[in-house]
Chains A and B, each alone.
Chain A
Amino acid sequence: MHPSGSSRKANLVLASILISLPFGAASAQDDSDSGIVIDTAAQAAANAPATVGDVDDARKSTLILDEWINRTLERTIPKTSRPLNLSGNISTRYTYIQGKQATPYYNSFNIPNVSLGFKGILFKDYENSKNLTYSLGFSSANGGAPTVADANIGYSLLSTVDLRNPSLNISIGQQKKPWGQEAQADAEAQPSVSGSTYLSSVGVSDVSARDIGVVIKGDILPTVDYGYNYRAPLLAVSAGFFNGAGANVSADNNRDKEWVVRAVLAPPVGYYNFLRGLTIGASFAKSEKNIIAAGGVLTPAKTIWLYKTNSAGTKTDSGKVTVADAVKAPSDTISGDRTRLGIDISYIRTPVNLTVEGVYATQDSVYWDKVTKSFSPYHRRSWGGSVTLFLNIGEQFLKGYREQARPDDWWPITWQPFFRIDGFDPDDDIRGRWDTTYVSRGAAAAAGAWQLVGTVGGNVFFARTTKLQVNYRWKKTEDFPAKFHETLVQLSYGF
């Protein structure tokens, strides 16, 4: 009976293991005042030549192990047709919001995010490392149904063998848009649980999200510091071409495609230079969006709050007003152009780190004009920005340090305290329309009130893929006297 192919492989592996065992590496002991280590009797025995019996024992052990490995491979080891790297991340959070609450009660435990990722190589180019890769990821937010997050295929157009060469990669499919600093940042450069307000608000959230399209990323003129195997390109550019309809939308729902471009400049310095980690970035996106103006009885409530403003836009009065007639509005869908511009500066140089980002966005939109009794177009302008100062105290982000030979499941503890202030004004001209639009206080806040948020907190990375995060957020909203206080405690862990 001839051994199978897998059996022969297993034999080879076992033989390799047996051959490579350091038979002579048993312990030695200090046996003299001079501190010289001498061989023990056991050491001498270990160094003795193998007998026929020893070889026979080894052969039997090999056969037993061979059978065990083959059985394990067949019955319990999952198989894939291509190399696979499986990863997942789970966040468990407790949120406490100060003050009076109505249902839903926000002070609760929840699972805000669960994700599962599959990555690998479809074709490995041994000559030039121009590999063909894939990425598939699913995520679920707050217990919702899992949706596809990433589904894309990537290819390195240039050889990545030599660090001194430029790089160029293309990826096609559903993926993150290459826009903005914070939206792209990993845990080293983004310490807070919640992103800046503008990333999840009307006007900008779409460019920090995922979409279906093509992304080309490249860089030129890299500085290579062989003392650290450190590479920093002088200019890195990412350009994306998307539907602009968002993730998991089967067909485009607007006439134009979305263009996204991001460029990042880094000084040409070595690893130890104080300018290492400094980057200046600019992002731009242009797209079209379908604006659906809902019809029906829009306003009024019988008694609402009204704001009065003068010609300069300054609020002069407010009060309860009774509106006589309800207005019946027809529904309408209007195409609007959108632009998003972001400028950012980052200085990620552990242990002290600083990121600053400014955002300006425009969007053609509509409002209900009570005088003309129709939807009227307007050019909405949004402003946002954030400043984050944080420390990385520990070795979590020092890759070379983390990769150590240690006898146990060692991992260095890292502390990451931070402070961030961010703000967002989704509509810098909403007051100009308040006199002609029925807008209640709540509607005003939702439509265009600015927000200013301060966040202070810290993260503790205490195991390889696990961190505890504590954030306290304070939020002030325009014309809302009550401030918003929120405390988040989150355990984020993965594999």
Chain B
Amino acid sequence: MKTRTILGLIGILSLAAGAADVPKVIRLGWVGNKYDKPFTGGVVGYIQENQLWEKEFAKEGIKIEWNFFKGTGPAINEAVANGKIDFASSGDLPSTAGRAGGLPTRVIVGGGAGGGKRFILVAAGSSIRRPADLRGKRISFQKGTYAHLAWDRYARDVLKADGEKSFKLYSLTSGDAEVALASGSVDAIYGGSLDLVYKGQAKVLDTITADRYPTVGNNAGSTYTTQQFINKYPDIVYRWVKVYLKAADDLYRKENQSLIWQLGTKSGSSLKSVKESDDGGDVRQQNLPIFDDHYKIRVDKAIADEISFRLIRRPFTAESWWDRRFYDRALSELKLDKKWADIYAWRAQEAKKLR
């Protein structure tokens, strides 16, 4: 009896210790939007809409805290550096610049293949007729974000110019940039919203897609956690990734195209804008988050370009940054490795074109 009591006490203590081995709250950091709406699109928007992470962690009483940063990638990096965020996602420049600067982030899910459409907008009455006319003009985007790297690439590969020196660059958030364009304070926006075009205040000067401008349109944002969080809560990371992959599999189906667009409007963009910003590719090919050469090449190229543009100083490789354990295990348990085999094969072919 005594032995049983002692074992019981040990059991209770173990449970108590185990219970303490989970965070009280999981803090998420996502890119905000110009409408200040605390929502996002894509698979994370789907998870948010359906409270899938909330449900997954409810039994331990773990809360999910959603943070949408108006300052986008750089603000997310600041929050991660100060220990305020456990999971986050941002564009290729901010996520790699953070890592290059020593931020202990680890990428835990792969990336989709599509970057959608991005637009270079000029004012409706602008005399700028073709991309070459942009030389020497006032260009706006938010520095330190995906658009900064994309612009430098566009200037180098399309305009044959130095993106930093041959233009006057203004770092403005997307909302401020649109106001500046409408008021004539800047001549063009890289990454502008079509909603401005629908209002009659802007026109599209150029459309960036991965097909049209492979070196510009093939961006590679990352979803990551921190090494400290992995060390402390590996099981939480695994379950988080598993929910992510399951949701991606549920969402990214051809029959859900309308739903995917609807999710895109939750951040405030019009449905028309969301639809026209879609590059029209296969939903699964474009969006399923996959760790493979296709993703690796894009991340490594982003790092190399950032070094050459002097946006970061210290090089590193995608593989040294990734921690695939949780992804691989979840993929296997969900049998997605077999279900997504066709996408893996397609991406392997596409990766050859990227080399």
Mark A residues whose CB is within 8 Å of B: 15-16, 19-25, 28, 30, 34-39, 43, 47, 126-128, 161-163, 225-230, 270-273, 350-351, 395, 398-401, 403-407
Q: Tell me the bound Cα distance from A22 to B81 in angstroms.
A: 35
Report how far A47 CA is from B274 CA in the complex, Å.
14
Contacts A22-B265, A228-B74: A404 and B32 contacting too (C-beta < 8 A)? yes
B residues in contact with A25, CB < 8 Å: 262, 265-266, 268, 271
Measured between alpha carbons, how far is A272 from B79 in the docked complex, in Å?
A: 11
Binds A, one of B168-176, B234-242, B297-305, B344-352: B168-176
Q: A25-B271, A405-B38 are in contact. Are A400 and B75 (CB under 8 A)?
A: yes
How far in angstroms is the closest Cβ of chain A from B186? Answer: 8
Q: A223 CB to closest chain B CB, in angstroms?
A: 10
- List chain A residues, Cβ under 8 A from B49: 28, 37
Q: Is the CB of A35 within 8 A of B250?
A: yes
Tier of interface size on chain B: 35 or more
Whether B77 contacts A398 by the Cβ 8 Å rule is no
With known contacts A16-B199, A35-B250, A270-B102, A226–B33 Cβ distance under 8 A: no
Given contacts A24-B265, A226-B144, contact A401 B98 (CB under 8 A): no
Instruction: State whether B259 touches A36 (Cβ < 8 A).
Output: yes
B318 touches A (CB below 8 Å)? no
Q: Are A35 and B50 in contact (CB under 8 A)?
A: yes
Whether A22 touches B78, Cβ cut-off 8 Å, given contacts A226-B93, A227-B101, A395-B84, is no
**Could you list 17 A-B pairs, sorted by A, with CB under 8 Å?**
A16-B201, A20-B195, A25-B268, A30-B50, A35-B50, A47-B271, A225-B97, A226-B148, A227-B74, A228-B77, A228-B97, A271-B77, A350-B82, A395-B84, A400-B78, A403-B71, A406-B38
Interface residues of B in 143-171 (CB under 8 A from A): 143-144, 148, 164, 168-171
Q: Within 8 Å CB of B266, what residues of A?
A: 25
Q: How far is the CA of A232 from the CA of B101 in the complex (A)?
A: 15
Evaluate contact between A227 and B144: CB separation under 8 angstroms: yes
Identify the closest chain A residue to B258 (Cβ).
A39
Of all A-B residue pairs in the complex, the 9 with the closest CB atoms, nearest first, are A400-B75, A227-B97, A24-B271, A25-B265, A400-B78, A400-B71, A270-B101, A226-B144, A405-B68
Asked if B185 CB lies within 8 Å of chain A CBs, one says: yes
Contact B169–A162 (Cβ < 8 Å): yes
Point out residues on B near A: beta carbons under 8 Å: 32-33, 35-38, 46, 49-50, 52, 67-71, 73-79, 81-82, 84, 93-94, 97-98, 100-103, 138, 143-144, 148, 164, 168-171, 184-186, 195, 198-199, 201, 247, 250-251, 256, 258-259, 261-262, 265-266, 268-271, 311-313
By a CB distance below 8 angstroms, the chain A residues around B52 are 35
Q: Are A228 and B259 CB-contacts (below 8 A) given A401-B79, A405-B70? A: no
B100 touches A227 (CB 8 A): yes
B101 touches A272 (CB 8 A): yes
* Besides A20-B270, A35-B52, A403-B70, 10 new A-B residue pairs in contact (Cβ under 8 A), listed by A number: A19-B270, A23-B270, A24-B262, A35-B50, A163-B143, A228-B81, A401-B67, A404-B68, A404-B70, A405-B69
- Once bound together, how far apart are the Cα atoms of A39 and B259, in whole Å? 8
A25 to B38 Cα, complex, angstroms: 14
Given known contacts A25-B266, A161-B170, A399-B71, A228 and B78 CB-to-CB distance under 8 angstroms: yes
Which residues of chain A are near B32, meaning CB under 8 Å? 404-405
Given known A19-B199, A226-B143, contact A404–B69 (CB-CB < 8 A): yes
Alpha-carbon distance A421/B271, docked complex (angstroms): 60
Q: In the complex, what residues of B have CB within 8 A of residue A127's CB?
A: 138, 168
Q: Chain B residues near A350 (CB, 8 Å)? A: 82
Closest to A395 in B: B84
